[in-house]
Structures are given as C-alpha cells and as structure tokens.
Amino acid sequence: MKEIILNHPLIEHKISILRRKDTSTKEFRELISELAMFLCYEALRDAKLETIEVETPIASTKGYVLNEDNYAFVPILRAGMGMVDGVLRVMPNAKIGHIGLYRNEETLEPVEYYCKLPKNIENKTVIILDPMLATGGSGSEAISMIKKRGVKKIKFLSIICAPEGIERIEKDHPDVEIYSAYRDSHLNDNGYIVPGLGDAGDRIFGTK
C-alpha cells in the first residue's frame, strides 16, 4: 500500500485553522475544499496524458491533455461532499458517484444505505473522498463496494487520518493508495481522531 502525507508549510497552516473549534462554518468549508484540491493534485501525479497539436499565437506545438472521462470521484456521504468542489476545480469534467454509509455508534462498523455510481465505472480510476479516515471501517466498506463493480484502480483521499484507519485499509485493501493532508496520533474510546477536528460532517454543514 502507498500512503502519501502532504508535508508542506501551507498545509500545516490550513490544518491548524481547520482544527480550531471557533472556526466558522464558512471558513471550515473553504479550507476543506482547498485541502481537497491539493490532495487531488498529488493523487493525479501519475495521470496519463494524451498528445495533441496546439496552435499558440506564435507557432504550432505539441500539447498534453488529460482524458477526464477516465476518472470518477466518489464522496462518502455526507462529509465527503465537502471535498467535491475542491477536486472539481482540478478536474471539472470528472464523473461523480455517491456512497452512503453511517457508523453504528455501538460497533463503530459502517452500515450502507445508498450507492449510485457513474456508468462504466469499471473502466475508470476511482478516487474516494472522506475528510476523516478514523477507524477505516467506512473507507474499507466503500472500497469493497466499488471493487464489486469491477473497478481495478482506486485511490483514497482524506484530510486527516489516524494510524488505525491506515492499518485497516492496508489490511483489507493493500492495493489502494491513500493520500492525506495530515496524520494524527490515535483514536479515542469513541472512535474519534485525536487531536482531530471534531465531526467533519457537522462542521461542514453547520449541524452542531
């Protein structure tokens, strides 16, 4: 498994603002979107390009373009929706799917309630979006759901990850690449990332 953590002063700066409990809903959303854009940029480093001819105002030259139809973003509802605008700034014509999972508060295991994926998903590189990779249960389940549709190449983008979540994905899906803006220290007894930033979904949508 390949795990990439974005070590950069600008990331550290934005994560610190994101963590503050008094950061406004508006600013929180904007920061999640910006960090998602940075993560997507890094995750597409191995993207294959097609050669085209380009006419500049001065001369003809070779150009290189990405076939955006080869990619699909799949946010895990609902917090993953906060990352969609950011990744679409990088690849505006990519297809979007949705996976709905909620965590059973007693077992901490995911429960599926919705799955809608683009056509020909098996031929695309799928990039799963979830701001918090905590226990890894929802992430692992989402990956399994996508693999059942025949998808061969999957990447996972999270803003904050915990070692427990990384270990779960590595155990269940060693072929999946994980990209995170920051790796925190551990989970508490309730399965929340420490120090974390609280419930990302509630903070994105202002529901608490």
Q: Which of 19, 85, 172, 202 is catalytic?
A: 202
202 is catalytic: yes
Query: Does the annotation count 207 as an active-site position?
Result: no
* 192 phi, psi to nearest 5 deg: -95, 145
Alpha-carbon gap, residue 203 to 102, rounded angstroms: 16
CA 51, CA 63: separation in Å to the nearest integer? 6
- Based on the residue annotation, tell me whether 107 is a catalytic residue of this protein: yes
The pair of structure tokens assigned to 93 is 């014509």
Q: Which residue in 25, 61, 107, 207 is the catalytic one?
A: 107
DSSP state of 196: -
Give me the catalytic one of 19, 78, 89, 103.
103
Q: How many alpha carbons lie under 13 Å from residue 119 in its C-beta half-sphere?
A: 0
Name the token pair of 111. 């429960």
Is 103 an annotated catalytic residue?
yes
Distance CA 158, CA 160 (A): 6
Query: For the chain, how far is it from start to end, CA to CA, in angstroms?
Result: 36
3-state secondary structure (DSSP) of residue 176: coil
CB 187 within 8 Å of CB 208? no
Residues taking part in catalysis: 103, 107, 199, 202
